Structure 1
Protein backbone atom coordinates (compact mmCIF):
# COMPACT_ATOMS: atom_id res chain seq x y z
CA UNK A 1 0.00 0.00 0.00
CA UNK A 2 1.27 3.45 -0.93
CA UNK A 3 2.11 5.70 2.02
CA UNK A 4 4.02 8.45 0.25
CA UNK A 5 3.35 12.10 -0.44
CA UNK A 6 0.42 12.47 -2.81
CA UNK A 7 1.34 14.30 -6.00
CA UNK A 8 -0.97 14.81 -8.95
CA UNK A 9 0.51 14.95 -12.45
CA UNK A 10 -0.94 16.00 -15.80
CA UNK A 11 1.11 14.67 -18.71
CA UNK A 12 0.78 14.36 -22.46
CA UNK A 13 1.87 15.90 -25.73
CA UNK A 14 1.65 19.55 -26.65
CA UNK A 15 -1.72 21.11 -27.59
CA UNK A 16 -4.09 18.77 -25.72
CA UNK A 17 -5.28 21.15 -22.99
CA UNK A 18 -2.94 20.42 -20.06
CA UNK A 19 -2.78 24.07 -18.98
CA UNK A 20 -6.54 24.60 -18.83
CA UNK A 21 -7.10 21.35 -16.96
CA UNK A 22 -4.32 22.17 -14.48
CA UNK A 23 -6.03 25.40 -13.45
CA UNK A 24 -9.42 23.68 -13.13
CA UNK A 25 -7.98 20.97 -10.90
CA UNK A 26 -5.82 23.39 -8.89
CA UNK A 27 -8.95 25.41 -8.06
CA UNK A 28 -10.98 22.30 -7.24
CA UNK A 29 -8.38 20.48 -5.13
CA UNK A 30 -6.47 23.37 -3.49
CA UNK A 31 -3.30 22.68 -5.47
CA UNK A 32 -0.27 24.68 -6.56
CA UNK A 33 1.39 23.95 -9.89
CA UNK A 34 4.94 22.88 -10.72
CA UNK A 35 5.98 23.03 -14.38
CA UNK A 36 7.40 19.75 -15.65
CA UNK A 37 8.61 21.28 -18.90
CA UNK A 38 12.30 21.55 -19.77
CA UNK A 39 11.86 24.75 -21.82
CA UNK A 40 9.48 26.81 -19.67
CA UNK A 41 12.30 27.35 -17.17
CA UNK A 42 13.86 29.88 -19.56
CA UNK A 43 13.11 33.56 -19.18
CA UNK A 44 11.90 35.48 -22.25
CA UNK A 45 10.90 32.28 -24.07
CA UNK A 46 7.18 32.55 -23.55
CA UNK A 47 5.38 32.10 -26.87
CA UNK A 48 7.40 29.21 -28.27
CA UNK A 49 7.19 27.23 -25.02
CA UNK A 50 3.41 27.80 -24.66
CA UNK A 51 4.13 29.24 -21.22
CA UNK A 52 1.09 30.01 -19.11
CA UNK A 53 0.39 33.75 -18.87
CA UNK A 54 -0.17 35.55 -15.55
CA UNK A 55 -3.86 36.07 -16.39
CA UNK A 56 -4.30 32.37 -17.25
CA UNK A 57 -2.87 31.41 -13.84
CA UNK A 58 -6.02 32.82 -12.18
CA UNK A 59 -4.17 33.38 -8.93
CA UNK A 60 -2.68 29.88 -8.73
CA UNK A 61 0.99 29.90 -7.72
CA UNK A 62 3.36 28.30 -10.25
CA UNK A 63 6.87 26.91 -9.72
CA UNK A 64 9.80 26.19 -12.09
CA UNK A 65 8.81 28.82 -14.64
CA UNK A 66 11.33 31.55 -15.58
CA UNK A 67 14.09 29.96 -13.48
CA UNK A 68 17.03 30.36 -15.87
CA UNK A 69 18.60 32.70 -18.38
CA UNK A 70 18.84 31.32 -21.92
CA UNK A 71 22.58 30.65 -21.62
CA UNK A 72 22.18 28.44 -18.52
CA UNK A 73 21.87 24.67 -18.72
CA UNK A 74 18.89 23.15 -16.93
CA UNK A 75 19.58 19.49 -16.15
CA UNK A 76 17.30 16.72 -14.97
CA UNK A 77 19.26 16.68 -11.68
CA UNK A 78 18.47 20.36 -11.16
CA UNK A 79 14.82 19.73 -12.03
CA UNK A 80 14.56 17.00 -9.39
CA UNK A 81 16.24 19.18 -6.78
CA UNK A 82 13.99 22.18 -7.44
CA UNK A 83 10.88 20.04 -7.85
CA UNK A 84 11.41 18.31 -4.50
CA UNK A 85 11.86 21.70 -2.85
CA UNK A 86 8.62 22.97 -4.42
CA UNK A 87 6.72 19.81 -3.39
CA UNK A 88 7.82 20.31 0.23
CA UNK A 89 6.86 23.99 0.14
CA UNK A 90 3.40 23.20 -1.27
CA UNK A 91 2.89 20.34 1.17
CA UNK A 92 3.88 22.57 4.12
CA UNK A 93 0.95 24.85 3.24
CA UNK A 94 -1.45 21.91 3.32
CA UNK A 95 -1.90 22.07 -0.45
CA UNK A 96 -1.65 19.44 -3.18
CA UNK A 97 1.42 19.48 -5.46
CA UNK A 98 0.32 19.36 -9.11
CA UNK A 99 3.04 18.79 -11.72
CA UNK A 100 2.14 19.66 -15.31
CA UNK A 101 4.27 19.00 -18.36
CA UNK A 102 5.45 16.98 -21.27
CA UNK A 103 9.10 16.26 -20.48
CA UNK A 104 8.68 12.58 -19.69
CA UNK A 105 12.29 11.90 -18.73
CA UNK A 106 12.19 14.60 -16.03
CA UNK A 107 8.96 13.28 -14.55
CA UNK A 108 10.06 9.66 -14.65
CA UNK A 109 13.37 10.56 -13.00
CA UNK A 110 11.47 12.28 -10.18
CA UNK A 111 9.00 9.44 -9.62
CA UNK A 112 11.57 6.67 -9.94
CA UNK A 113 13.90 8.45 -7.53
CA UNK A 114 16.90 8.57 -9.85
CA UNK A 115 19.70 10.09 -7.75
CA UNK A 116 21.52 11.69 -10.63
CA UNK A 117 23.76 13.95 -8.58
CA UNK A 118 24.82 17.27 -10.03
CA UNK A 119 26.37 15.94 -13.20
CA UNK A 120 25.50 17.53 -16.47
CA UNK A 121 22.98 15.94 -18.78
CA UNK A 122 25.79 15.36 -21.28
CA UNK A 123 27.38 12.64 -19.14
CA UNK A 124 24.06 10.78 -19.01
CA UNK A 125 23.96 11.03 -22.79
CA UNK A 126 27.43 9.45 -23.02
CA UNK A 127 26.46 6.50 -20.82
CA UNK A 128 23.19 6.01 -22.70
CA UNK A 129 24.87 6.10 -26.10
CA UNK A 130 27.49 3.61 -24.93
CA UNK A 131 24.84 1.02 -23.99
CA UNK A 132 22.81 1.58 -27.16
CA UNK A 133 26.02 1.02 -29.15
CA UNK A 134 26.63 -2.16 -27.14
CA UNK A 135 23.14 -3.41 -28.07
CA UNK A 136 23.69 -2.58 -31.72
CA UNK A 137 26.93 -4.53 -31.79
CA UNK A 138 26.07 -7.52 -29.59
CA UNK A 139 22.29 -7.62 -29.61
CA UNK A 140 19.48 -6.92 -27.15
CA UNK A 141 19.85 -10.28 -25.43
CA UNK A 142 23.48 -9.52 -24.54
CA UNK A 143 22.46 -6.06 -23.31
CA UNK A 144 19.75 -7.56 -21.10
CA UNK A 145 22.24 -10.09 -19.72
CA UNK A 146 24.52 -7.21 -18.68
CA UNK A 147 21.65 -5.83 -16.60
CA UNK A 148 20.82 -9.29 -15.22
CA UNK A 149 24.43 -9.68 -14.04
CA UNK A 150 24.21 -6.43 -12.10
CA UNK A 151 20.55 -6.23 -11.07
CA UNK A 152 18.59 -9.45 -11.66
CA UNK A 153 15.43 -8.09 -10.02
CA UNK A 154 15.29 -5.13 -12.42
CA UNK A 155 16.07 -7.37 -15.40
CA UNK A 156 13.23 -9.75 -14.53
CA UNK A 157 10.76 -6.86 -14.77
CA UNK A 158 12.00 -5.58 -18.14
CA UNK A 159 11.47 -7.48 -21.43
CA UNK A 160 14.62 -8.24 -23.43
CA UNK A 161 13.14 -6.33 -26.37
CA UNK A 162 12.59 -3.11 -24.39
CA UNK A 163 16.05 -1.77 -25.16
CA UNK A 164 15.31 1.75 -23.95
CA UNK A 165 14.24 0.57 -20.53
CA UNK A 166 17.19 -1.83 -20.16
CA UNK A 167 19.57 0.99 -21.12
CA UNK A 168 17.82 3.32 -18.67
CA UNK A 169 18.35 0.82 -15.83
CA UNK A 170 22.04 0.35 -16.70
CA UNK A 171 22.46 4.11 -16.98
CA UNK A 172 20.96 4.75 -13.55
CA UNK A 173 23.08 1.99 -11.95
CA UNK A 174 26.26 3.37 -13.51
CA UNK A 175 25.37 6.94 -12.62
CA UNK A 176 24.32 6.41 -9.02
CA UNK A 177 26.17 3.27 -7.94
CA UNK A 178 22.87 1.88 -6.68
CA UNK A 179 20.62 -0.84 -8.04
CA UNK A 180 17.81 0.28 -10.32
CA UNK A 181 15.36 -2.02 -8.54
CA UNK A 182 16.18 -0.46 -5.17
CA UNK A 183 15.65 3.05 -6.49
CA UNK A 184 12.21 2.14 -7.79
CA UNK A 185 11.32 0.57 -4.42
CA UNK A 186 12.37 3.71 -2.57
CA UNK A 187 10.36 5.87 -4.93
CA UNK A 188 7.21 3.88 -4.27
CA UNK A 189 7.52 4.77 -0.57
CA UNK A 190 8.27 8.43 -1.16
CA UNK A 191 5.46 9.41 -3.51
CA UNK A 192 1.89 8.32 -4.15
CA UNK A 193 1.36 9.77 -7.64
CA UNK A 194 -1.76 9.89 -9.78
CA UNK A 195 -0.99 10.54 -13.45
CA UNK A 196 -3.60 12.09 -15.69
CA UNK A 197 -2.67 11.70 -19.35
CA UNK A 198 -4.32 13.88 -21.97
CA UNK A 199 -4.43 12.79 -25.58
CA UNK A 200 -6.77 12.76 -28.56
CA UNK A 201 -7.04 11.19 -32.00
CA UNK A 202 -3.78 11.49 -33.91
CA UNK A 203 -5.22 13.51 -36.83
CA UNK A 204 -6.96 15.92 -34.43
CA UNK A 205 -3.78 16.31 -32.38
CA UNK A 206 -1.66 17.02 -35.45
CA UNK A 207 -4.13 19.62 -36.70
CA UNK A 208 -4.10 21.34 -33.31
CA UNK A 209 -0.27 21.37 -33.34
CA UNK A 210 -0.22 22.89 -36.83
CA UNK A 211 -2.67 25.59 -35.76
CA UNK A 212 -0.66 26.30 -32.62
CA UNK A 213 2.50 27.03 -34.64
CA UNK A 214 0.53 29.42 -36.87
CA UNK A 215 -0.91 31.12 -33.78
CA UNK A 216 2.52 31.41 -32.15
CA UNK A 217 3.81 33.23 -35.22
CA UNK A 218 1.04 35.83 -34.81
CA UNK A 219 1.83 36.13 -31.08
CA UNK A 220 5.49 37.07 -31.54
CA UNK A 221 7.36 33.78 -31.88
CA UNK A 222 9.81 35.29 -34.39
CA UNK A 223 10.85 37.95 -31.89
CA UNK A 224 11.86 35.20 -29.47
CA UNK A 225 13.69 33.35 -32.26
CA UNK A 226 15.60 36.55 -33.13
CA UNK A 227 16.50 37.05 -29.46
CA UNK A 228 17.84 33.49 -29.20
CA UNK A 229 19.69 33.76 -32.52
CA UNK A 230 21.29 37.07 -31.54
CA UNK A 231 22.64 35.49 -28.35
CA UNK A 232 24.17 32.43 -30.00
CA UNK A 233 21.24 30.45 -31.36
CA UNK A 234 21.82 26.72 -31.46
CA UNK A 235 24.96 26.99 -29.30
CA UNK A 236 22.77 27.88 -26.31
CA UNK A 237 21.25 25.17 -24.07
CA UNK A 238 17.84 26.74 -24.71
CA UNK A 239 18.44 27.32 -28.41
CA UNK A 240 17.88 23.73 -29.53
CA UNK A 241 14.20 23.75 -28.62
CA UNK A 242 11.61 22.68 -31.18
CA UNK A 243 9.73 25.73 -32.41
CA UNK A 244 12.84 27.88 -32.27
CA UNK A 245 15.70 26.12 -34.07
CA UNK A 246 13.63 25.59 -37.23
CA UNK A 247 13.46 29.34 -37.87
CA UNK A 248 17.20 30.10 -37.77
CA UNK A 249 17.53 29.37 -41.55
CA UNK A 250 14.91 32.09 -42.15
CA UNK A 251 17.03 34.62 -40.28
CA UNK A 252 20.06 33.46 -42.26
CA UNK A 253 18.18 33.99 -45.53
CA UNK A 254 18.45 30.29 -46.43
CA UNK A 255 14.72 29.42 -46.26
CA UNK A 256 11.39 31.16 -46.49
CA UNK A 257 9.26 31.70 -43.39
CA UNK A 258 6.73 29.22 -44.78
CA UNK A 259 9.38 26.50 -45.23
CA UNK A 260 10.58 27.00 -41.66
CA UNK A 261 7.02 26.95 -40.37
CA UNK A 262 6.37 23.63 -42.15
CA UNK A 263 9.53 22.21 -40.55
CA UNK A 264 8.51 23.44 -37.09
CA UNK A 265 5.10 21.81 -37.46
CA UNK A 266 6.63 18.54 -38.62
CA UNK A 267 9.13 18.43 -35.75
CA UNK A 268 6.41 19.34 -33.24
CA UNK A 269 4.21 16.49 -34.51
CA UNK A 270 7.11 14.03 -34.29
CA UNK A 271 7.89 15.21 -30.77
CA UNK A 272 4.26 14.76 -29.72
CA UNK A 273 4.40 11.20 -31.02
CA UNK A 274 7.56 10.55 -29.00
CA UNK A 275 5.97 12.08 -25.90
CA UNK A 276 2.96 9.76 -26.18
CA UNK A 277 5.20 6.73 -26.69
CA UNK A 278 7.26 7.64 -23.62
CA UNK A 279 4.27 8.10 -21.33
CA UNK A 280 2.59 4.93 -22.55
CA UNK A 281 5.68 2.74 -22.25
CA UNK A 282 7.37 4.09 -19.14
CA UNK A 283 4.73 5.49 -16.83
CA UNK A 284 1.49 4.33 -15.25
CA UNK A 285 -0.90 6.85 -16.81
CA UNK A 286 -4.70 7.19 -16.70
CA UNK A 287 -5.70 8.46 -20.15
CA UNK A 288 -8.49 10.90 -21.06
CA UNK A 289 -9.51 12.78 -24.21
CA UNK A 290 -10.90 16.18 -23.24
CA UNK A 291 -10.57 17.51 -26.79
CA UNK A 292 -13.17 15.23 -28.37
CA UNK A 293 -14.87 14.30 -25.09
CA UNK A 294 -14.94 17.33 -22.76
CA UNK A 295 -17.53 15.49 -20.66
CA UNK A 296 -14.70 13.22 -19.45
CA UNK A 297 -13.71 16.06 -17.11
CA UNK A 298 -16.31 14.65 -14.69
CA UNK A 299 -14.51 11.30 -14.78
CA UNK A 300 -11.12 12.97 -14.21
CA UNK A 301 -12.43 14.77 -11.12
CA UNK A 302 -14.10 11.60 -9.84
CA UNK A 303 -10.91 9.55 -10.30
CA UNK A 304 -8.79 12.17 -8.50
CA UNK A 305 -11.28 12.29 -5.60
CA UNK A 306 -11.12 8.49 -5.20
CA UNK A 307 -7.29 8.57 -5.26
CA UNK A 308 -7.19 11.37 -2.66
CA UNK A 309 -9.45 9.41 -0.30
CA UNK A 310 -7.14 6.38 -0.24
Structure 2
Protein backbone atom coordinates (compact mmCIF):
# COMPACT_ATOMS: atom_id res chain seq x y z
CA UNK A 1 0.00 0.00 0.00
CA UNK A 2 1.34 3.42 -1.00
CA UNK A 3 2.68 5.44 1.93
CA UNK A 4 1.66 9.09 2.15
CA UNK A 5 1.94 11.90 4.68
CA UNK A 6 -1.13 13.92 5.63
CA UNK A 7 -0.98 17.25 7.47
CA UNK A 8 -4.32 18.28 8.94
CA UNK A 9 -5.47 20.94 11.35
CA UNK A 10 -7.36 24.20 11.71
CA UNK A 11 -6.71 27.39 9.82
CA UNK A 12 -3.65 29.47 10.85
CA UNK A 13 -2.02 26.65 12.83
CA UNK A 14 1.05 26.37 10.58
CA UNK A 15 0.27 23.60 8.09
CA UNK A 16 1.93 25.34 5.13
CA UNK A 17 5.20 25.97 6.96
CA UNK A 18 5.39 22.37 8.15
CA UNK A 19 4.57 20.99 4.71
CA UNK A 20 7.45 22.94 3.16
CA UNK A 21 9.88 21.77 5.83
CA UNK A 22 8.87 18.12 5.48
CA UNK A 23 8.83 18.22 1.67
CA UNK A 24 12.42 19.47 1.67
CA UNK A 25 13.51 17.02 4.35
CA UNK A 26 11.94 13.92 2.77
CA UNK A 27 12.04 14.88 -0.92
CA UNK A 28 8.29 15.25 -1.16
CA UNK A 29 5.72 17.10 -3.22
CA UNK A 30 2.67 18.84 -1.82
CA UNK A 31 -0.95 18.17 -2.75
CA UNK A 32 -3.46 20.72 -1.53
CA UNK A 33 -6.38 19.22 0.39
CA UNK A 34 -8.21 22.52 0.61
CA UNK A 35 -11.53 22.82 -1.21
CA UNK A 36 -11.04 26.49 -2.14
CA UNK A 37 -7.38 26.56 -3.20
CA UNK A 38 -8.36 24.76 -6.39
CA UNK A 39 -9.64 28.11 -7.68
CA UNK A 40 -7.54 30.67 -9.52
CA UNK A 41 -7.50 34.27 -8.29
CA UNK A 42 -8.54 33.32 -4.73
CA UNK A 43 -5.07 33.62 -3.26
CA UNK A 44 -5.26 35.79 -0.16
CA UNK A 45 -8.58 34.73 1.32
CA UNK A 46 -7.74 31.02 0.99
CA UNK A 47 -4.26 31.45 2.51
CA UNK A 48 -2.82 29.77 -0.57
CA UNK A 49 0.91 29.07 -0.59
CA UNK A 50 2.65 32.07 -2.13
CA UNK A 51 4.46 31.87 -5.46
CA UNK A 52 7.77 31.95 -3.59
CA UNK A 53 6.65 29.01 -1.45
CA UNK A 54 5.36 27.10 -4.47
CA UNK A 55 8.71 27.68 -6.19
CA UNK A 56 10.49 25.93 -3.30
CA UNK A 57 8.51 22.68 -3.62
CA UNK A 58 6.17 21.38 -6.35
CA UNK A 59 2.51 21.96 -5.43
CA UNK A 60 -0.54 20.21 -6.89
CA UNK A 61 -4.31 20.86 -6.95
CA UNK A 62 -3.84 24.61 -6.77
CA UNK A 63 -5.18 27.09 -9.36
CA UNK A 64 -6.86 24.50 -11.59
CA UNK A 65 -10.31 26.05 -12.04
CA UNK A 66 -12.05 29.38 -12.44
CA UNK A 67 -14.16 30.44 -9.44
CA UNK A 68 -17.35 29.95 -11.49
CA UNK A 69 -16.64 26.23 -11.98
CA UNK A 70 -17.88 23.51 -9.66
CA UNK A 71 -15.52 21.04 -8.02
CA UNK A 72 -16.87 17.95 -6.27
CA UNK A 73 -15.24 15.72 -3.71
CA UNK A 74 -15.23 12.96 -6.34
CA UNK A 75 -13.21 15.15 -8.70
CA UNK A 76 -10.81 15.98 -5.88
CA UNK A 77 -10.24 12.32 -5.04
CA UNK A 78 -9.59 11.35 -8.67
CA UNK A 79 -7.13 14.17 -9.24
CA UNK A 80 -5.39 13.62 -5.91
CA UNK A 81 -5.06 9.90 -6.67
CA UNK A 82 -3.48 10.76 -10.02
CA UNK A 83 -1.06 13.15 -8.33
CA UNK A 84 -0.14 10.60 -5.66
CA UNK A 85 0.61 8.00 -8.33
CA UNK A 86 2.69 10.44 -10.39
CA UNK A 87 4.64 11.72 -7.38
CA UNK A 88 5.36 8.20 -6.12
CA UNK A 89 6.43 7.08 -9.61
CA UNK A 90 9.15 9.74 -9.46
CA UNK A 91 10.39 8.34 -6.16
CA UNK A 92 8.99 11.29 -4.20
CA UNK A 93 6.81 11.35 -1.09
CA UNK A 94 3.22 12.61 -1.53
CA UNK A 95 2.31 15.10 1.22
CA UNK A 96 -1.36 16.03 1.42
CA UNK A 97 -2.03 19.28 3.27
CA UNK A 98 -5.34 20.84 4.14
CA UNK A 99 -8.12 21.74 6.48
CA UNK A 100 -11.03 20.36 4.46
CA UNK A 101 -11.54 17.20 6.47
CA UNK A 102 -14.26 15.83 4.21
CA UNK A 103 -11.84 15.82 1.27
CA UNK A 104 -9.07 14.16 3.25
CA UNK A 105 -11.46 11.54 4.59
CA UNK A 106 -12.71 10.70 1.10
CA UNK A 107 -9.18 10.45 -0.30
CA UNK A 108 -8.03 8.10 2.45
CA UNK A 109 -11.08 5.90 1.94
CA UNK A 110 -12.57 6.55 5.38
CA UNK A 111 -15.52 8.08 3.56
CA UNK A 112 -15.57 6.14 0.26
CA UNK A 113 -17.15 7.66 -2.81
CA UNK A 114 -20.64 6.50 -3.59
CA UNK A 115 -21.92 5.96 -7.15
CA UNK A 116 -23.71 9.29 -6.75
CA UNK A 117 -20.70 11.50 -6.20
CA UNK A 118 -20.62 12.51 -9.85
CA UNK A 119 -24.26 13.57 -9.94
CA UNK A 120 -24.38 17.14 -11.19
CA UNK A 121 -26.90 19.27 -9.33
CA UNK A 122 -28.44 22.16 -11.22
CA UNK A 123 -27.30 25.53 -9.81
CA UNK A 124 -30.91 26.75 -9.97
CA UNK A 125 -31.96 23.91 -7.66
CA UNK A 126 -29.30 24.94 -5.14
CA UNK A 127 -30.15 28.63 -5.39
CA UNK A 128 -33.89 28.02 -5.01
CA UNK A 129 -33.44 26.02 -1.83
CA UNK A 130 -30.90 28.45 -0.40
CA UNK A 131 -33.38 31.26 -0.93
CA UNK A 132 -36.06 29.16 0.78
CA UNK A 133 -33.77 28.59 3.75
CA UNK A 134 -32.88 32.27 3.92
CA UNK A 135 -36.57 33.18 4.05
CA UNK A 136 -38.12 30.37 6.08
CA UNK A 137 -35.24 28.65 7.87
CA UNK A 138 -33.98 25.12 7.26
CA UNK A 139 -37.03 23.19 8.54
CA UNK A 140 -38.83 23.07 5.15
CA UNK A 141 -35.64 21.73 3.53
CA UNK A 142 -35.17 19.12 6.23
CA UNK A 143 -38.83 18.09 5.94
CA UNK A 144 -38.52 17.71 2.16
CA UNK A 145 -35.41 15.58 2.65
CA UNK A 146 -37.13 13.44 5.30
CA UNK A 147 -39.81 12.47 2.77
CA UNK A 148 -37.23 10.84 0.50
CA UNK A 149 -34.40 10.03 2.95
CA UNK A 150 -35.28 10.03 6.64
CA UNK A 151 -31.84 8.74 7.66
CA UNK A 152 -30.01 11.67 6.05
CA UNK A 153 -32.58 14.14 7.38
CA UNK A 154 -31.87 12.92 10.92
CA UNK A 155 -28.11 12.56 10.44
CA UNK A 156 -27.15 15.87 8.81
CA UNK A 157 -26.34 18.52 11.39
CA UNK A 158 -28.10 21.89 11.66
CA UNK A 159 -26.52 24.49 9.42
CA UNK A 160 -25.23 21.99 6.85
CA UNK A 161 -27.51 23.39 4.17
CA UNK A 162 -25.47 22.35 1.12
CA UNK A 163 -25.30 18.74 2.40
CA UNK A 164 -29.07 18.63 2.84
CA UNK A 165 -29.66 20.09 -0.61
CA UNK A 166 -27.26 17.57 -2.17
CA UNK A 167 -28.86 14.63 -0.34
CA UNK A 168 -32.30 15.79 -1.48
CA UNK A 169 -31.23 16.25 -5.10
CA UNK A 170 -29.50 12.86 -5.29
CA UNK A 171 -32.39 11.05 -3.60
CA UNK A 172 -34.80 12.55 -6.12
CA UNK A 173 -32.49 11.88 -9.09
CA UNK A 174 -31.71 8.27 -8.15
CA UNK A 175 -35.17 7.41 -6.89
CA UNK A 176 -33.76 5.97 -3.67
CA UNK A 177 -32.41 7.43 -0.42
CA UNK A 178 -28.99 9.03 -0.65
CA UNK A 179 -28.06 7.32 2.65
CA UNK A 180 -28.64 3.86 1.13
CA UNK A 181 -26.04 4.48 -1.58
CA UNK A 182 -23.00 4.85 0.70
CA UNK A 183 -20.35 2.07 0.44
CA UNK A 184 -18.33 0.74 3.36
CA UNK A 185 -15.06 2.51 4.27
CA UNK A 186 -11.72 0.97 3.35
CA UNK A 187 -8.33 2.69 3.67
CA UNK A 188 -6.72 3.31 0.28
CA UNK A 189 -3.31 4.48 1.51
CA UNK A 190 -0.90 3.80 4.35
CA UNK A 191 -1.04 7.30 5.79
CA UNK A 192 0.87 8.97 8.59
CA UNK A 193 -1.58 11.65 9.68
CA UNK A 194 -0.12 14.68 11.42
CA UNK A 195 -2.57 16.83 13.34
CA UNK A 196 -1.49 20.35 14.27
CA UNK A 197 -3.12 22.11 17.20
CA UNK A 198 -2.25 24.61 19.91
CA UNK A 199 -3.87 26.34 22.88
CA UNK A 200 -7.24 27.72 21.84
CA UNK A 201 -6.54 31.35 22.69
CA UNK A 202 -3.16 31.20 20.97
CA UNK A 203 -4.85 29.82 17.85
CA UNK A 204 -7.51 32.52 17.95
CA UNK A 205 -4.84 35.22 18.25
CA UNK A 206 -3.06 33.76 15.22
CA UNK A 207 -6.31 33.76 13.26
CA UNK A 208 -6.95 37.41 14.12
CA UNK A 209 -3.41 38.33 13.08
CA UNK A 210 -3.78 36.41 9.83
CA UNK A 211 -6.95 38.31 8.94
CA UNK A 212 -5.20 41.63 9.60
CA UNK A 213 -2.29 40.52 7.41
CA UNK A 214 -4.65 39.44 4.62
CA UNK A 215 -6.14 42.92 4.55
CA UNK A 216 -2.71 44.47 4.08
CA UNK A 217 -2.11 42.08 1.16
CA UNK A 218 -5.23 43.29 -0.65
CA UNK A 219 -8.01 40.98 0.54
CA UNK A 220 -10.72 43.53 -0.25
CA UNK A 221 -9.81 43.41 -3.95
CA UNK A 222 -10.44 39.66 -3.93
CA UNK A 223 -13.68 40.18 -2.02
CA UNK A 224 -14.86 42.62 -4.69
CA UNK A 225 -14.07 40.08 -7.41
CA UNK A 226 -15.85 37.24 -5.59
CA UNK A 227 -18.91 39.41 -4.96
CA UNK A 228 -19.46 39.60 -8.73
CA UNK A 229 -19.67 35.81 -9.12
CA UNK A 230 -23.04 34.06 -9.63
CA UNK A 231 -24.83 33.29 -6.37
CA UNK A 232 -24.51 29.54 -6.99
CA UNK A 233 -20.70 29.71 -7.16
CA UNK A 234 -19.14 27.78 -4.29
CA UNK A 235 -16.46 30.44 -3.87
CA UNK A 236 -19.14 32.97 -2.97
CA UNK A 237 -19.97 30.97 0.18
CA UNK A 238 -16.35 30.73 1.35
CA UNK A 239 -15.26 32.06 4.72
CA UNK A 240 -12.95 34.97 4.06
CA UNK A 241 -15.12 36.62 1.45
CA UNK A 242 -18.83 36.56 2.28
CA UNK A 243 -18.29 38.25 5.66
CA UNK A 244 -16.93 41.33 3.89
CA UNK A 245 -19.63 41.70 1.22
CA UNK A 246 -21.59 44.15 3.44
CA UNK A 247 -18.51 46.38 3.54
CA UNK A 248 -18.64 46.72 -0.24
CA UNK A 249 -22.22 48.00 -0.26
CA UNK A 250 -21.48 50.14 2.80
CA UNK A 251 -24.11 48.43 4.96
CA UNK A 252 -21.27 47.73 7.40
CA UNK A 253 -18.03 49.46 8.22
CA UNK A 254 -14.72 47.79 7.49
CA UNK A 255 -14.20 47.39 11.22
CA UNK A 256 -17.51 45.54 11.57
CA UNK A 257 -16.80 43.31 8.59
CA UNK A 258 -13.34 42.42 9.83
CA UNK A 259 -14.73 41.57 13.27
CA UNK A 260 -17.29 39.24 11.66
CA UNK A 261 -14.61 37.61 9.51
CA UNK A 262 -12.40 36.98 12.53
CA UNK A 263 -15.30 35.49 14.45
CA UNK A 264 -16.33 33.27 11.52
CA UNK A 265 -12.74 32.09 11.10
CA UNK A 266 -12.44 31.25 14.79
CA UNK A 267 -15.68 29.28 14.70
CA UNK A 268 -14.52 27.45 11.59
CA UNK A 269 -11.25 26.51 13.29
CA UNK A 270 -13.19 25.12 16.23
CA UNK A 271 -15.35 23.02 13.89
CA UNK A 272 -12.26 21.79 12.05
CA UNK A 273 -10.65 20.60 15.27
CA UNK A 274 -13.82 18.89 16.45
CA UNK A 275 -14.18 17.16 13.09
CA UNK A 276 -10.61 15.90 12.94
CA UNK A 277 -10.73 14.59 16.51
CA UNK A 278 -14.01 12.78 15.89
CA UNK A 279 -13.28 11.36 12.44
CA UNK A 280 -9.60 10.31 12.53
CA UNK A 281 -8.75 7.93 15.36
CA UNK A 282 -5.17 7.44 14.13
CA UNK A 283 -4.16 11.09 13.94
CA UNK A 284 -0.87 12.06 15.62
CA UNK A 285 -1.17 15.43 17.35
CA UNK A 286 1.63 17.97 17.70
CA UNK A 287 1.87 21.58 18.90
CA UNK A 288 4.58 23.34 16.92
CA UNK A 289 3.42 26.78 18.03
CA UNK A 290 4.00 26.08 21.70
CA UNK A 291 6.88 23.66 21.15
CA UNK A 292 8.76 24.23 17.85
CA UNK A 293 11.28 21.57 18.90
CA UNK A 294 8.60 18.98 18.18
CA UNK A 295 9.64 19.27 14.54
CA UNK A 296 12.49 16.89 15.35
CA UNK A 297 9.97 14.48 16.85
CA UNK A 298 7.79 14.69 13.76
CA UNK A 299 10.74 13.99 11.48
CA UNK A 300 11.77 11.00 13.58
CA UNK A 301 8.22 9.65 13.59
CA UNK A 302 8.03 9.97 9.81
CA UNK A 303 11.39 8.25 9.36
CA UNK A 304 10.12 5.35 11.47
CA UNK A 305 6.88 5.29 9.48
CA UNK A 306 8.69 5.24 6.14
CA UNK A 307 11.16 2.54 7.19
- What CA deviation, in whole Å up to 9, does each residue of 1:231-281 have, x standing for no partner? 34x442211110100111111110000000000000000000000011000
CA contact (8 A) 1:75 1:120 kept: no
1:114 aligned residue: 113
Report the counterpart of residue 247 of structure 2 in structure 1.
Answer: 250
CA distance in 2, matches of 1:299, 1:251: 46
The equivalent position to 1:26 in structure 2, one of 23, 30, 35, is: 23
Aligned to 1:45: 42
CA–CA distance in structure 2, aligned partners of residues 265 and 101 of structure 1: 20
Partners of 1:117 and 1:176 within 8 A in 2: no
Give the SS at the match of 1:266: helix
Q: Does 1:289 align with 2:290?
A: no
Aligned to 1:147: none
1:171-208 deviation per Cα after TM superposition (whole angstroms, max 9, x unaligned): 79955976643xx2xx33x3101100001000000011
Question: Once superposed, what is the RMSD of the aligned Cα atoms?
Answer: 3.1
Secondary structure at the counterpart of residue 43 of structure 2: coil
Which residue of 1 is the match for residue 301 of structure 2?
303
Partner of 2:268: 271
- TM, length-normalised to structure 2: 0.80
Query: Are the equivalent residues in 1 in contact too, given 2:5–2:191 (CA < 8 A)?
Result: yes
C-alpha distance in structure 2 between counterparts of 1:227 and 1:38, whole Å: 19
Q: Map Cα deviations across residues 121-172 of structure 1 (whole Å, 9 max, x no partner).
A: 789x99xx99x958x99xxxx969xxxxxxxxxxxxxxxxx9569xx9xx79
CA distance in 2 between counterparts of 1:38 and 1:19 reads 15
**Alignment equivalent of 2:3, drawn from 6, 16, 22:** 6
Deviation at 1:71, TM superposition (A): 0.5
Query: Which residue is equivalent to 2:135?
Result: none
Cα deviation, 1:49-80, whole Å, max 9, x if unaligned, reads 00001212353111000011010111111111
Aligned-partner SS, 1:105: helix
Aligned length: 273
